[in-house]
């Protein structure tokens, strides 16, 4: 199947990088989709009807026909496996598949606890350790920047879902007080993703919301 019978519904928040990585992939794959904004500030994600879609009470969630699927990285894997006929976004060659998984794990680990957490403090006033989050971000980009010196994308010369998983919170890291100025290879990689046909940006956080 190369296209869903009905538009895929994406439950998201406009300032959520986890949501954005899914929106970005839907757009890059040129799949029909509709966005449903979940009002996190009003606790809509903890209401019974949303918990029925994701018991963890988090965005993003997609609905595709009878399927309800939470978790951004799981959604990327699903969309690639189901709708990317080229197979390039989620390569099945064993080493490449393992490399993609490596970056998905980093995106759910160091990226979430580093730049994403730092932004949660600045943008949403989360009671997290900002200095620790910034230190994790610095450790992460000290590894990623030289990694990108010899390849165009995280797993090689072509973009994969690994790049999409890492893109949104990296592009918006400065909103959390994590400067990308020292990381020229990371900035060049961001620009390469932004040049992909079908790229859609995540909304910038208005300055007044940044502490
Ligand atoms: N592992 C999840 C994490 C999703 C996540 O942290 N979502 C945040 C918004 S960016 C959320 O819904 N937070 C509300 C909460 O945890 O109560 C994923 O990859 O989708």
Following DSSP, what letter does each residue of 31-94 receive, concatenated? --EEEEE--GGGTGGGSHHHHTT-TT--S-EEEETTEEEE-HHHHHHHHHHHH-TT--SS--SH
Q: What is the pLDDT of residues 108-162, one digit of tens each?
A: 999 999 999 999 999 999 999 999 999 999 999 999 999 999 999 999 999 999 9
- Average pLDDT for 1-12: 92
User: What's the whole-number mean pLDDT along residues 167-180?
Assistant: 98
Closest ligand 1 atom to residue 73 Cα is: 19
Task: Reply yes or no on whether the pLDDT at 204 is more than 50.
Answer: yes
Closest atom of ligand 1 to CA, residue 116: 10
Is 59 a pocket residue for ligand 1 (Cβ < 6 Å)? Answer: yes
What is the predicted pLDDT for the residue at 206? 65
Ligand 1, closest atom to CA 70?
Answer: 20
> What is the chain's alpha carbon radius of gyration, rounded to the nearest angstrom?
17
How close is the Cα of 18 to the center of ligand 1, in Å? 7
**Binding site membership of 107 for ligand 1 (Cβ less than 6 Å):** no
For 40-163, list the strands marked E by DSSP.
61-64, 67-70
Token pair for 46:
């903890």
Say yes or no: CB of residue 16 within 6 Å of ligand 1.
Answer: yes
């Amino acid at each position: 199947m190369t296209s869903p019978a009905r538009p895929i519904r994406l439950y998201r928040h406009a300032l959520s990088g986890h949501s954005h990585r899914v929106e970005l992939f839907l757009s890059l794959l040129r799949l029909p989709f509709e966005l449903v904004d979940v009002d996190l500030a009003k606790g809509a994600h903890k209401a019974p009807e949303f918990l029925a879609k994701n018991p963890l009470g988090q965005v993003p969630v997609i609905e595709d026909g009878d399927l309800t699927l939470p978790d951004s990285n799981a959604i990327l894997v699903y969309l690639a496996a189901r709708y990317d006929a080229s197979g390039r976004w989620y390569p099945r060659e064993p080493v490449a598949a393992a490399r993609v998984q490596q970056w998905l794990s980093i995106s759910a680990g160091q990226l979430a606890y580093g730049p994403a957490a730092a932004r949660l403090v600045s943008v949403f006033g989360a009671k997290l350790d900002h200095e620790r989050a910034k230190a994790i971000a610095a450790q992460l980009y000290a590894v990623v920047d030289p990694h990108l010196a010899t390849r165009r994308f995280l797993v090689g010369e072509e973009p994969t879902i690994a790049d999409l998983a890492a893109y949104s919170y990296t592009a918006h890291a400065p909103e959390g007080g994590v400067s990308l100025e020292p990381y020229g290879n990371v900035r060049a990689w961001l620009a390469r993703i932004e040049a992909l046909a079908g790229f859609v940006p995540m909304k910038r956080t208005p300055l007044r919301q940044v502490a």
